[in-house]
Amino acid sequence: MQTLTTTSLQIRDNQLWILDQQALPQQKIWCPTPDVATLVDHIQTLRVRGAPLIGLSASLLLALLAEGGMPKPALSEALTVLRAARPTAVNLMNNLDRMKAALAAADHVSALVNEALRLVAEDNALCERIADAGLPLVPPGSRLLTHCNTGGLATAGVGTALGVIARAHQQGRIAQVWVGETRPLLQGGRLTAWELGELGVPLRLITDSMAASLMARGEVDAVWVGADRIAANGDVANKIGTYSLAVLAHYHGVPFYVAAPQTTLDRACPDGNAIPIEQRAASEVTGVAGSFGHVQWAPASTPVYNPAFDVTPAALISGWVLDSGVVTPAQVQAGAFRP
């Protein structure tokens, strides 16, 4: 396969390499990913994360395995295992459905390689169109609040919500970005703060519990988040804490926007109640671990509830910013996302 480089994925020497997002921002480590078990581990430990990027990494690995001579039955089994690696993010399923169709082709090796590269190119283009669609919603002098990480680390391009913010910054429209730390694993504090800093976007990091006070003081003009799955009724699954921000924004009259590619739509999912929510390890709440070591702040035996995602009802969302354009609440109520 041709050499390929995105912010978080590389193809070189006929192997997939993953930028270890657990090690950021202290270290920039590229991890070799030669087989399915390794990639599943990368996905479940969040070395690779972001709904679009997870789907792309799985697709690229399948193509590389096919080029390496893996027979069709083994590729089919690999696809099944990868599909189950992350239950909430629907991009993984959507991408692998396309790879499954390519696997059925007579020349399945070429079909898989071409489809994987097509998915990467499409995601890059989707990000650009999302940024274009979202830009008019960001007036000059905007003070925005974002959650988790939705930039180039999570996609093949400029990102979704962060792509809009980066485009607005290039146009001189950003006065301030409030970055929620985003528990568990502090992906806002570790990744978004680093990424916005690299882009020169003015930012201030806050704990997740500070958003309400900022909105009450009138210091947030809009909230921008991404999505891991959008149901047919417009409900959105995203990193835990997104629903809280939507409730706060609604109470304070602050617009709440979801930026995502159409690959995040799940038209077969009727509403948020049907979205599976991944539960993560208790150790992510009772302490913290990373390239810096491990710190335990709660008793190791403490019972923990640790969902990775929550669901924001469509009624709390001001607009869905897709690569096809901005979808309004009225359009969603009229069935814009339904089959």
Residue 80, number of CB atoms within 10 A of its CB: 12
Coil, strand or helix: which one is 290?
strand
CA distance 296 to 286: 6
Whether 228 is a known active-site residue: answer: yes
Contact in structure between 158 and 146 (CB atoms under 8 Å): no
At position 13, the amino acid (one-letter code) is D
CA distance 63 to 103: 9
CA distance 39 to 20: 12
From the list 20, 123, 208, 228, the catalytic residue is: 228
CA distance 128 to 125: 5
DSSP state letter for 224: E
CA distance 325 to 339: 18
Contact in structure between 75 and 66 (CB atoms under 8 Å): yes
Burial class (CB in 10 A: 0-12, 13-18, 19+), 324: middle
CA distance 199 to 162: 11
Q: How many residues does the chain have?
A: 339
At position 242, the amino acid (one-letter code) is T
DSSP state letter for 210: G
End-to-end Cα, the chain, rounded Å: 35
b or e along 145-169 (b: 16 or more beta carbons within 10 Å of the residue's beta carbon)? bbbbbbbbbbbbbbbbbbbbbbbbb
Contact in structure between 160 and 15 (CB atoms under 8 Å): no
Coil, strand or helix: which one is 330?
helix
- Residues known to be catalytic: 228
